[in-house]
């Protein structure tokens, strides 16, 4: 449970970072929402991996392995998960939340929240190993 709470804290910090980046890329840089979402994903996922590696899963068997190798696993695991979140966000934005000026922020938030629990379960096993000590 403690490890999940750490994971949730990392995600909780990464969540506004992701939303802020989406806003920055869409509103300030003028990029299309889909491109803004992809760029925010790439940056946020890297930040979250580093935090999780050095804090959440510091005592796991995979912690001392190559940082880039672990990041690669994290990316490979995250692509289908975040791809699903991406589809959810785009669908919500283009349908239910289309009439709201900041509907894209709400859609992004819902997409991220839906994927969080699944991500924890998968990355714990695939990236940091099945034998990650329970803490």
Whole-number CA gyration radius for the chain: 15
What is the CB neighbour count within 10 angstroms for residue 22?
A: 25
Average pLDDT estimate for 92-97:
76
For the segment 113-121, the average pLDDT, to the nearest whole number, is 82
Task: Give the model's pLDDT for residue 61.
Answer: 66
- Confidence grade of residue 31 (pLDDT, cut at 50, 70, 90): very high
134 vs 69: which has the higher pLDDT: 69
- For the chain, the structural domain boundaries read 2-126
User: What was the pLDDT predicted at 35?
Assistant: 94
Give the pLDDT mean for 59-84. 81
Confidence of residue 47 (pLDDT cuts 50, 70, 90): very high
**Contact in structure between 111 and 85 (CB atoms under 8 Å):** yes
What average pLDDT does the segment 32-41 reach? 90
The confidence score (pLDDT) of residue 134 equals 45
82-to-2, 13, 33, 68, 87 alpha-carbon distances in Å: 24, 17, 15, 20, 8
pLDDT band at 135 (very low <50, low <70, confident <90, very high): very low
- What is the model's pLDDT at position 94? 79
What local confidence, expressed as pLDDT, does residue 21 receive?
96
Q: CB–CB of 39/108 below 8 Å?
A: no
Do residues 79 and 41 touch, judged by C-beta distance below 8 A?
no
- Reported as a pLDDT band with limits 50, 70 and 90, residue 64 is low
């Amino acid at each position: 449970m403690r490890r999940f709470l750490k994971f949730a804290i990392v995600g909780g910090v990464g969540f506004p970072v992701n939303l802020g980046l989406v806003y920055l890329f869409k509103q300030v840089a003028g990029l299309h929402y889909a491109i803004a979402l992809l760029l925010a994903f790439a940056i946020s996922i890297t930040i979250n991996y580093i935090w999780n590696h050095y804090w959440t899963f510091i005592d796991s068997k995979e912690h001392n392995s190559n940082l880039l190798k672990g990041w690669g696993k994290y990316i490979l695991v995250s692509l289908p998960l975040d791809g699903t979140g991406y589809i959810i966000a785009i669908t919500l934005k283009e349908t239910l939340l289309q009439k709201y000026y900041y509907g894209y922020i709400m859609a992004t938030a819902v997409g991220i929240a839906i994927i969080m629990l699944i991500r924890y379960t998968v990355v714990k096993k695939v990236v940091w190993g099945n034998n990650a000590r329970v803490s």
